[in-house]
Amino acid sequence: MMNDGNMDNNRLTFRKKPTQEIEEKKKTIPFYYDNSDMAKMLNVTPRTLQRWRSSGKLPYTSIGSKVYYNPEIIKKLMERNDYSED
């Protein structure tokens, strides 16, 4: 059993960060679309997205069974109109 006098020495202390610093860190965390977002945005089925991924037309990242799309890359593809059924 620990001595009550030593309890204060063993406690973890956490420093609170200013709100501004937290907001700046949020800006550096990349945002990615998930499969559902992409299907709605492009007005296609999840199966079409799967075909585009399989054919290499649609770059993606997967974590476990979840699929994510980088919005910057998707924007460039949409500008080039490089996503089609064929």
Q: Give the helix/strand (H/E) hosting 11.
A: none
pLDDT at 46: 95
Q: Which residues in the chain land under pLDDT 50?
A: 1, 5-6, 86
Q: Where are the domains of the chain?
A: 30-86
Top CATH class of 30-86 equals mainly alpha
Can you list the positions of beta strands (E) in the chain?
Answer: 33-34, 61-63, 66-69
Tell if the pTM clears 0.85, that is, is over it. Answer: no
Decide: 58 and 69 in contact? Cβ < 8 Å: yes
